[in-house]
Amino acid sequence: MSEALLRTDKEITDIYMRHVKTVYRVCFAYMKNKSDTEDAVEETFYRMIRKGPQFENEEHEKAWLIRTATNICLNMLNHWQRNNENIDDHTDLKSPEKADTDEILQAVLDLPEKYKTVVYLYYYEGYTSPEITEILQKPKSTVRNHLHEARTILKERLGDDFYEK
C-alpha cells in the first residue's frame, strides 16, 4: 500500500485549508486568470495526495506546495505555448481577483517570470532569502539578484508609489 493512501481525508482537508490561499496566489501570479489558476491549484493538491510526501512540519508542507505549484504553472505555460494575449482586452472575461488587486500587487504580477515568485514569497509571504533559496532550489546569489532587479523594475514602474522598507 502506498504512503499516499495512508493519509486520512481529515489530514488532506487540514493541509488544504491551511495552504489553499497561498497556493492560489502563487498560481494566479503565473496564470493570470481564474480558470487556469484553479486548474493549477487542483493539480498541486492532487499531486500531494497521489505522491503522499511526508512533511516535517507546516512550513515544510507550505514550501513543498509552493514549489510544486510553481513547477505545475511553468509546465502548463510551456506545454500550452500560450500566446501573450492580455486578458484585460476582454472586459467581459476579467476575473474578480484581478479587478481587486492593488496597483503594487498588479505591478508584481506583471514582473517577468523569473522575478515574480521570488518577490511574492519575500514580500507577501514573509520568507527570507535563504528560505526562498530552499523552496525554489536556486542559488542564494540568484535569489538575491532577482530581488534586487525586481525592486529596480518596480521602482521604475511605480515611481513615488513604491517605498522600500
Say which amino acid occupies 114: K
67 in the same domain as 16: yes
Average pLDDT on 8-36 reads: 92
For residue 95, being part of any structural domain is answered with no
* Domain, as residue range, for 53: 1-90
CATH number at residue 118: 1.10.10.10
- What pLDDT score was predicted for residue 161? 55
165 in the same domain as 127: yes
Nearest-angstrom CA–CA distance, 135 and 133: 6
For residue 96, being part of any structural domain is answered with no
62-97 pLDDT per residue, tens: 999 999 999 999 888 876 654 444 444 444 444 444
Looking at the 3D structure of the chain, how many domains does it have? 2
Per the CB < 8 A criterion, the answer to whether 48 and 15 are in contact is: yes
Nearest-angstrom CA–CA distance, 118 and 128: 10
- What pLDDT score was predicted for residue 94? 44
78 vs 56, more confident: 56
pTM of structure: 0.63
For residue 126, being part of any structural domain is answered with yes
105 in the same domain as 82: no
75 in the same domain as 14: yes
37 in the same domain as 70: yes
Q: How far is CA 42 from CA 27, 94, 97, 108, 115, in A?
A: 10, 21, 18, 24, 24
